[in-house]
Chains A and B, each alone.
Chain A
Amino acid sequence: MGLVEVLVASALMAVALVVLLGSLSSLLLGARVAERRTVEMRLARNQIERLMAPQTISCPVPTVTQSVDHVTYSIETTCPPVPSSAGYIELKVTVHPLQDPSSQTLVIDRVQQ
């Protein structure tokens, strides 16, 4: 086999492998992000249910952390100001990985009459 054929075959193989590895890497990163978003949503929902359990809700609510699959998440609850005549309070739960506070956060509002 000549040198030219070997070079062309190697180049084709390299292009194919780069495409395959690139696709797999994207899949892995996407799955990781989706997994974290799901966990954040579940943690936020659980926090809201926990806050709904007692008859009265008092602000401020202390920030808590919880580890899921070796990732520690911060669960912050804030009470944005609402008009005093509104007759409800608003709770905003924000969840994000502790190691990555700059990542996209999940925010769920909860209104209590």
Chain B
Amino acid sequence: MAAIFPVFFLLYRVEVTWGDSTQAHASGLLAEESLLRDLRVYQVQTADHNSLVLTSPAGPNQTYSVTYSVDSGRLMRTASGSPPTVVAHGIKEFTAYPCSLGLVRVAIVTLGTTGTAVSLEPRLSIAPRQGCP
């Protein structure tokens, strides 16, 4: 009987930790879906830590831009002429790397329910359909 409770406690802790990781990965997948969609369509103007600016020629003398940023644990998407929208909650930070070998790479760190940071692996790789600038 004395051995059962430590086993139960151990299983419970492992389940909580893995559940936390699963929830954090789900938040990351939500963020990635929006990033995937935009990165495939638009061109990368600037890629940096917690900042990603995408542009698309919208016509003569006009440029349509989409900006991603992190604000209070939320991934925000701001399009030209529109108010910011929340793409995903529980995002601690993201880093977009400039186009290399035809691929844009994005590293995302999410927050679990217990506040622990979970780095999403493998990192997101996207081939912009309009090519790299």
Chain A interfacial positions (CB closer than 8 Å to B): 13, 17, 20-21, 24-25, 27-28, 31-32, 34-35, 38-39, 42-43, 46, 49-50, 52-54, 66, 68-69
Contacts and interface: CB of A to CB of B under 8 A. Distances in A.
25 contacts: A13-B1, A17-B8, A21-B4, A21-B7, A21-B11, A24-B12, A24-B15, A25-B11, A28-B14, A31-B15, A31-B19, A31-B22, A35-B21, A35-B22, A38-B29, A42-B120, A42-B122, A42-B124, A50-B103, A53-B101, A53-B103, A53-B127, A54-B102, A68-B122, A69-B121
B88 to A, nearest CB: 15
B127 A17 contact: no
A43 B120 CA distance: 12
B126 interface: yes
Contacts of A42: 120, 122, 124
Contacts of B126: 49
Contacts of B18: 28, 31-32, 35
A102 B21 CA distance: 26
Contacts of B127: 49-50, 52-53
A13 B4 CA distance: 11
Contacts of A49: 103, 125-127
A46 B11 contact: no
Contacts of B103: 49-50, 53
